[in-house]
Amino acid sequence: MKTEILDLYSENCQRCPDHKWPNEGRNSCIVRDYEFLSYETDVLALVFSVIYIFLSLVTLFIIGLFILFWKSRIVRANNRTLSFILLSSLMFSLLCVFLFIGRPVDITCMLRQTFFGIFFTVVVSSVLAKTLIVYFAFKATRPNSPWRKCVGVKLPYSVVLGCSSIQVVNAVIWLSVSPPHQENNLDYPGKILIQCNEGSVLSFYLMLGYMGFLASLSFVLAFMVRTLPDIYNEAKYITFSMLVFCSVWICAIPAYLSSKGKHMVIVEIFAILSSGGGILSCMFLPKCYIILINPEVKSKGHLQRHKLGLFNDTIKK
């Protein structure tokens, strides 16, 4: 009798539809659970939102502090406009975190990687521009130095615009040829992973690789001139910030590639927040300390003894 029942079951066996999964007895189909990073089921989504709000408040505080001390030499010596470009683009790049949280759809899949890549490239390009200012300041102080020809007000903005344009072109080609899109991963038992297919894998790795190249270049140049006068040497802060940035993404990329579904999203959000927070803390918190806690460093006579301050005054920033 048992054999007959088994034979009867085997004759009537049917494959469950894609949105369902067989139960333990394999005699009926049950609905699969949908899995994606959401506020309803994942406490990490709330944690990431709180971290973003905190970093945004810190960024706004720094911007407000720079506006309050707009005419101080400590702010002018760091190229005020370039600092505002860096801080503003950093806020927008951190804001991209909310495109990663929630149920993925085609539009969010297309926007989250391209927006993140463009805004973070502006951040790293601004850091590179600051690094070049410090580097040329060091080189231009020597008598009859040919590097004096590279000194000018347009230099940092040309670097930011040129480097960012390359990433914009990559994003446009990416969205035109093979844009990211939402897909359902059915390879896992009992659940459907709702995730984003990056479309052109080449464009995705070009985006990350290009940002890594700019960050590495900034790190190398800043490391070369880290021994400038210590009272106000931005090179060492750039070195630390790019070291944090590169370390975070070197660790995050293997974890990202070995993850699936919402775990990939968690890894990328963590990398975005960590690298953004590292740049914010390493580059700007020391300046806030000088402005608020150690104001005597801002005095005109104190800063006039240092090459970097003198150089930046020549370009009237």
Q: Does the structure show a pLDDT above 50 at 144?
A: yes
Q: How far apart are CA 241 and CA 54, in angstroms?
A: 19
pTM for this entry: 0.81
pLDDT band at residue 192, thresholds of 50, 70 and 90?
A: confident
Dihedrals phi, psi of 196, to nearest 5 degrees: -100, 130
Q: Does the structure show a pLDDT above 90 at 190?
A: no
- Is residue 109 within 8 Å of 128, Cβ to Cβ? no
Q: Does the structure show a pLDDT above 80 at 65?
A: yes
Q: Does the structure show a pLDDT above 80 at 20?
A: no
- DSSP of 273-305: HHHHHHHHHHHHHHHHHHHHT-GGGG-HHHHTT
Q: Does the structure show a pLDDT above 50 at 26?
A: yes
pLDDT band at residue 315, thresholds of 50, 70 and 90?
A: very low
Q: Residue 222 has what pLDDT? A: 81
Q: Which residues pair with 197 in a beta bridge?
A: 181
Q: Give the distance between the most distant pair of CA atoms in the chain.
A: 102
Q: Which residues pair with 29 in a beta bridge?
A: 22
Average pLDDT, the chain: 79
pLDDT tens per residue, range 76-121: 777 788 889 999 999 999 999 999 998 889 999 999 989 999 999 9
Give the mean pLDDT of 295-303.
48
pLDDT tens per residue, range 230-276: 445 677 888 888 889 999 999 998 998 888 888 889 999 999 999 99
Q: What is the DSSP letter of 192?
A: E
Total number of residues shown for the chain: 317
Q: Does the structure show a pLDDT above 90 at 48?
A: yes
- DSSP of 129-140: HHHHHHHHHHHH
Beta strand pairing status for 20-22 and 29-31?
antiparallel
What residues contact residue 281 under an 8 Å CB cut-off, 6+ apart? none
Q: How far apart are CA 235 and CA 221, in angstroms?
A: 8
* Domains within the chain, CATH numbers bracketed: 37-314 (1.20.1070.10)
pLDDT tens per residue, range 1-14: 333 333 444 556 77
What residues contact residue 314 under an 8 Å CB cut-off, 6+ apart? 151
Q: Residue 9 has what pLDDT? A: 46
